Chains A and B, each alone.
Chain A
Amino acid sequence: MGKKRKTPGINGSSSADIAFMLLIFFLITTSMDTDKGLARRLPQPVPKDQKDKNDVEINKRNLLVVLINSNNQISCGGEYTDIKQLKDKVKEFIDNPYNDANKPEKVEEDVPFFGKVMCATKGVISLQNDRGTEYQAYISVQNELAKAYNELRDAVSKKKFGKTFAELDEDQQKAVQQIYPQKISEAEPKNYGDKK
């Protein structure tokens, strides 16, 4: 073995350059932007043969109708509302702090960490829009609805755990979600524009 001639070592000084070239190539062709958005769940498709039957009856007090017309104006529960007021109205509707008879009823449920608490499970927000509504207006409304839920959840998390909802661990988040489940129904599209 000792007699064998030594193979000359490969000159590796250029591998740094090669790696740099690759690095620059990837920096150019890829994008860093993490895609963010408002996550929603669409309802199950309605079977075609029973299209106009409303099989889910919702009590009137449990339903808050939010309408956006083609001029991007918002109506909340039947009255014209500014986008800035929408969040507070929605919060009041979901939370129903004074147990108003016209606001959604609450159900007592056994929630982990909390024990028996009143949960706002019945309230449903029905979001309807016109075909002419601008997407930005629609997203703004969706955003306000999400904000209302997030603030309510944050409030209850702060009270119980001293942290915001986002900082809780998974089980705690689930418990808080049980108290304030996000129920936004995006109704079947209706062509309000035609009625005008």
Chain B
Amino acid sequence: MGKFSKAGGREMPELNTSSLPDLVFAFLFFIMMVTSMREVTLMVQFHAPQATELQKLEKKSLVTFIYVGKPTQEYQAKMGSEARLQLNDKFAEVSEIQDYIAQEKSSMDEADQPFMTVSIKADKDTKMGLITDVKQALREAYALKISYSARQATE
């Protein structure tokens, strides 16, 4: 090593890396802000339907998700291939929605509760019968702001 520097005569000034951790931390915080933790592992097959007139969901913390779809391969033996609901990490019946919504609501700040939004993430092949049941349950649970999750259609 020393041999080279002697041969070169001039020494290359070392790059100052002391601010590198700060840069990386700033980037880290940026990523933490713009992304969201994947909270649940999907137990249902879910391909969002396509639409064009989409609105973004405003506040992530106010959104509750309900997944609807056929159970994935590994659960099909146990649950059958009929479309099911998934609330948090388990399969559920429509009748359990009210409790689930009430529970989610109570975990929120009181001022935020009226702005609670329920995002229905349903597979595009689901029959409307189940979705209608879900909608009725949500109505009864007074979770009136809903959003039908969809993908941007490519035209």
Within 8 A of B (CB), among A175-196: 186, 189, 193
Are A34 and B132 in contact, CB atoms less than 8 angstroms apart?
no
Contact A35 B124 (CB under 8 A): no
Tell me the dominant secondary structure on chain A's binding face. mixed
| Chain B positions within 8 Å of A38 at CB level | 51, 53-55, 147-148, 150
| Pairwise interchain contact A138-B37, C-beta atoms closer than 8 A | no
Q: Which residues of A contact B90 (CB under 8 A)?
A: none
CA gap between A131 and B140 in the complex, in Å: 19
Contacting residue for B20 out of A16, A26, A43, A130, CB 8 A? A16
The residues of A that contact B139 with a CB separation of less than 8 Å are 42-45
B125 at interface by CB-CB < 8 Å: yes
Q: Mark A133-164, 1 if CB is under 8 A from B, else 0.
A: 11110111011001100100000000000000
A97 within 8 A of B: no
Please state if B126 and A135 are interface contacts (CB–CB under 8 Å): yes
Alpha-carbon separation in the docked complex, A143 to B127 (Å) = 18
Chain A neighbourhood of B36, CB < 8 A: 30-31
Q: Are B37 and A30 in contact (CB under 8 A)?
A: yes
Asked if A27 is an interface residue, CB under 8 A from chain B, the answer is: yes
- Given A23-B28, A45-B139, A135-B122, verify A32-B35 contact (CB < 8 Å): yes
CA A43 to CA B143, docked complex, whole Å:
10
14 contacts between A and B (CB under 8 A): A16-B24, A37-B147, A37-B149, A37-B150, A38-B54, A38-B55, A39-B55, A41-B144, A45-B142, A129-B128, A135-B123, A135-B124, A150-B53, A186-B135
